[in-house]
Amino acid sequence: MMNLTLKIWRQKDANDKGKIVDYPISNISPDMSFLEMLDVLNQELIEKGEQPVAFDHDCREGICGTCSLYINGRAHGPETKITACQLHMRSFKDGDTIYIEPWRAKAFPVIKDLIVDRTSFDRIQQAGGFISVNTSGNTQDANAIPIEKENADKAFDAATCIGCGACVASCKNSSAMLFVSAKVSQFALLPQGQVEATDRVLNMVKQMDDEGFGNCTNTGACEVECPKGISLENIARMNREYLAASFKG
């Protein structure tokens, strides 16, 4: 059992200034998940009649991309290739002080405490993250176009992005390049995505810039912190796609 000190960002709503508040917590089992530890804290706060800490979470198995905690200076905490909900308390030790902050980016404004608004990601997808095919079911047979396994696998790897925003949170420039490039790459690698490739990359990058994300300076932090291990190769691919599209007009 562990005793810990939590330093948590509390902010009543978008207009509140917010501050770090200290919470001691005890009797934490190493088998608990990080979010279960926060559940324990919240139950204690509720019992004392205080407001629980608001944080985003849903599937708690690392796939929905809802949880978004900056733990001890890192997106999703000290382990790599997992989300905060998959982090367990065995990664900490008795007596530790743990900072818990929301994602920080101009394009991700805080809603409350540790919850941020990531609808900018949705708007980028709406600008072109799709293939314009009617959902009639009257498309050609799924096996009509064979796709080289290597490309299919790479497209899949890019498509595993869960849209959590850890890339933005850990980038010193709050750049969304890894997220955007994952979607651009998925379609760029598939024959079905070719038709709209030019417009897609131009529109998505424009939306990304308009949302106020920073520029990529290739520090590689995003790739390290991405819970799904999305590769930097995708950013290079998007750069290529974008430049080719720009010169094409």
Partner 1 sequence: MSKLDSKIPEGPLADKWTKHKNDINLVNPANKRLIDVIIVGTGLAGGSAAATLAELGYNVKAFCFQDSPRRAHSIAAQGGINAAKNYQGDGDSTYRLFYDTVKGGDYRSREANVYRLAEVSTNIIDQCVAQGVPFAREYGGLLDNRSFGGVLVSRTFYAKGQTGQQLLLGAYAAMNRQIGRGKIKMYTRHEMLDVVIVDGKARGIIARNLVTGEIERHSAHAVVLGTGGYGNAFYLSTYAMGSNVTAAWKAHKRGAFFANPCYTQIHPTCIPVSGDHQSKLTLMSESLRNDGRIWVPKHKKDVEAIRNGSLKPTDLAEEDRDYYLERRYPAFGNLVPRDVASRAAKERCDAGYGVNQTGEAVYLDFASAIERYGKEQAFVKGLNVEDKAVVTKLGKEVVENKYGNLFQMYEKIVDQNPYETPMMIYPAVHYTMGGLWVDYNLMTNVPGLYAIGEANFSDHGANRLGASALMQGLADGYFVLPYTIGDYLADDIRTGPIPTDSKEFDDAEEKVKGDIDKLINNEGTKSVDHFHKRLGKIMWNKCGMARNEKDLKEAIKEIAELREEFYKDVFVPGTENEYNEELAKAGRVADFLELGELFAKDALEREESAGGHFRDEYQTETGEAMRRKEFQYVSAWEYKGQPSEAVHHKETLEYENIEVKERSYK
Partner 2 sequence: MSGILNSSIGRKFAMALSALFLMIFLVMHVSINFTSVFSEELFNEMSHFMGTNPLVQGLMQPILIIGVIFHFVMGFILEAKNKSSRSIKYASNSASDNSTWVSRNMLLTGVVVLAFLGLHMYDFWVHEMTVKYVEGDMSGLIDPNNAESGFRYYEELREKFVSPVRVGIYVVAFVLLALHLLHGFNSAFQSIGANNKYVKSLNGFSKVYSIGIPALFIFIAVYHHFTH
In the complex, the smallest distance separating the C-beta of residue 144 from partner 2, rounded to whole angstroms, is 29
- Total chain residues near partner 1 (CB under 8 A): 80
CB distance 190 to 110 below 8 Å: no
Closest CB 202 distance from partner 2, rounded Å = 9
Residue 248 as a binder of partner 1 (CB under 8 A): the answer is no
Q: Rounded to whole angstroms, how far apart are CA atoms 108 and 118?
A: 5
What's the closest the beta carbon of residue 224 comes to partner 2, in angstroms? 4
136 vs 247, beta carbon nearer partner 2: 247
Residue span 97-136 as binding mask against partner 1, x where in contact by CB under 8 A, dash where not: --------------xx--x-xxx-xx--xxxxxxxxxxxx
Distance of CA 88 to the CA centre of its chain: 19
| Binding partner selected for residue 58 from partner 1, partner 2, none, CB under the kind-specific 5 to 8 Å limit | partner 1
Q: Rg of the Cα trace of the chain?
A: 20
How many H helices and E strands in the chain? Answer: 8, 7
Contacts with partner 1 in 199-218 (CB under 8 A)? none
**Residue that is written with structure tokens 């314009």 in the block:** 132
What does 198 interact with, of partner 2, partner 1, none (CB < 5 to 8 A by kind)?
Answer: none
Look up residue 21 and give its amino acid.
V
Nearer to partner 2, 77 or 163 (CB): 77
Between 36 and 173, whose beta carbon lies closer to partner 1?
36
SS3 category, 242: helix
Q: What SS3 class is residue 247?
A: helix
Cβ pair 201, 132 in contact under 8 A:
no
Instruction: Measure the CA–CA gap between 70 and 199, rounded to whole angstroms.
Output: 34
Residue 127, classed as helix, strand or coil, is coil
Our finding on whether 33 is near partner 1 (CB under 8 A) is yes
Binding segment for partner 1 among 18-26, 75-83, 213-221, 241-249 (CB under 8 A)? 75-83
Binding to partner 1 in span 161-180, by CB under 8 A: 162-163
User: Which residues would be at the binding site for partner 2 (CB under 8 A)?
Assistant: 7, 9, 20, 70, 72-74, 78, 99, 101, 104-107, 170, 172-175, 177, 205-206, 208-209, 212-221, 224-225, 232-233, 235-243, 246-247, 249
